[in-house]
Amino acid sequence: MTETSGPQVDPRVVARYETYDEDARLWRPGLGDLVRLRTWDIFDRFVPPGGRVLDVGGGPGTHAAHLAGRGDDVTLIDPVPRHVAQARTRAADPDAAPFAVCLGDATHLPMASAGVDTVVLMGPLYHLVERAGRLAALAEARRVLRPGGLLVAEVIGRYGWALDATVKGLTGSAEVWADVERSVATGLSQDPQAVPAGSFWAYFHEPDELEGELGAAGFGDVRLLAVEGFAWLLGDLERRMSEPEPILAAVRLTESEPSMLGCSAHVMAIARAQS
C-alpha cells in the first residue's frame, strides 16, 4: 500500500478540518457521547470482529481505535494531513491497539482489489457533494471489498440543519434561514458560489436517495439505521447521557423506523457488495 501524492478532495473540506477539532466533537458531553456510542454500538452489532477493516475518511482515528481494540486489522485513510498526523499519534499509543494510517482519497483508494472484509465510510458520502463523486467512492469501496463484503456508510440527513438550527434558536436570522431552506431544497449545506472559509461544506441525503446510490454502485441487502434518531433533539441530553443506556436502548429500538431516519442528524447504511 502506498500513499497518494495528492488526494483529490475539495479544498474547502480540507480547510475546514485543518482548523476544526473533529476528535473533540465525538467526545463532547451529551451529543458527542450519543454520536460516538451509537456509532460503536452499530459497529459492534453489524461488523464481525477480527476482520480486515478499511476506515475511509477516518479522521483522527476515533473509530479506528475502537475497531482495532476489538481485534480488527484496521487501516485508516484520510485526505486531511492534520487528521493523518493525529491518527498516527493515536495508533502509536502503547496503551492501545495499533492500526495503520495512510493519506489518501475515497475515490482512489491505495489498496488491492477484493482484500478487505469491511469498508467504513464515515464522511466521504456527505463531503462529496456531487452524486458522481459519491458513486466513485462507493465503486472504490466495492472494488476493495471481498465478494459479499460489508459496507458501513454514513450520511447526514436532509433535515438535519433545519432541526439543528431550530433547536438552537437560529432560524430568526435571515442568513441562517436562507441556508436552511437551501439545504432542504437542494441538499447543499451552503451556497456553492459563496462557501465561507472554514465553513461546513457537505451534502445532506434523503434516506431513499442513499439507498438508491448504494444500489447503483452494486450494493444490496441494504439496511438503514438512524444514528441519533430523536434523542439528539432532547433539551436535557447532556444530563441524560451521564447514564446513557436508557437513551441508547430507546434509539436502538427505533433505529429502523422511517420517521426516525427522517429526524436523525445522521443515517447509517449497512450493505453487502454484490457479485
Q: Pseudo-torsion of CA 274, 222, 244, 239, nearest 10°?
A: 120
Return the pLDDT at 67: 98
| Amino acid letter, residue 90 | R
Fold held by 11-158+199-273: Rossmann fold (3.40.50)
Locate the domains of the chain by residue range: 11-158+199-273
Query: What's the pLDDT tens digit per position in 228-264?
Result: 999 999 999 999 999 999 999 999 999 999 999 999 9
CB 124 within 8 A of CB 105: no
Joined grid coordinates for residue 222: 441494504
Distance between the two ends of the chain, CA-based, in angstroms? Answer: 24
Residue 236 has a pLDDT of 97
For residue range 185-237, list pLDDT tens digits in order.
999 998 888 888 778 889 999 999 999 999 999 999 999 999 999 999 999 99
In this structure, which amino acid lies at residue 12? R
Q: Which is more confident, 89 or 11?
A: 89
d(CA 195, CA 272): 35
Give the model confidence (pLDDT) of 157-179 as tens digits.
999 999 999 999 999 999 999 99
Is the pLDDT at 4 greater than 50, yes or no? no
pLDDT tens by residue, 96-154: 999 999 999 999 999 999 999 999 999 999 999 999 999 999 999 999 999 999 999 99
Inform me whether the pLDDT recorded for 3 exceeds 70. no
pLDDT of residue 1: 59
* Region 48-54 average pLDDT: 97
* Cα–Cα distance measured from residue 130 to residue 141, given in angstroms and rounded to the nearest whole number: 17
Angle (CA) 111-128-102 rounded to 5° is 30
Q: Is the pTM of this model over 0.85?
A: yes
Which pLDDT does position 204 carry in this prediction?
Answer: 97
Distance of alpha carbon 202 from alpha carbon 189, whole angstroms: 5
Cβ atoms 142, 109 nearer than 8 A: no
Provide the pairing of β-strand 266-273 with 145-157: antiparallel
Contact present, 141 and 251 (Cβ < 8 Å)? no
Asked whether the beta carbons of 176 and 170 are under 8 A apart, the reply is: yes
In the predicted structure, residue 94 carries a pLDDT above the cut 50 = yes
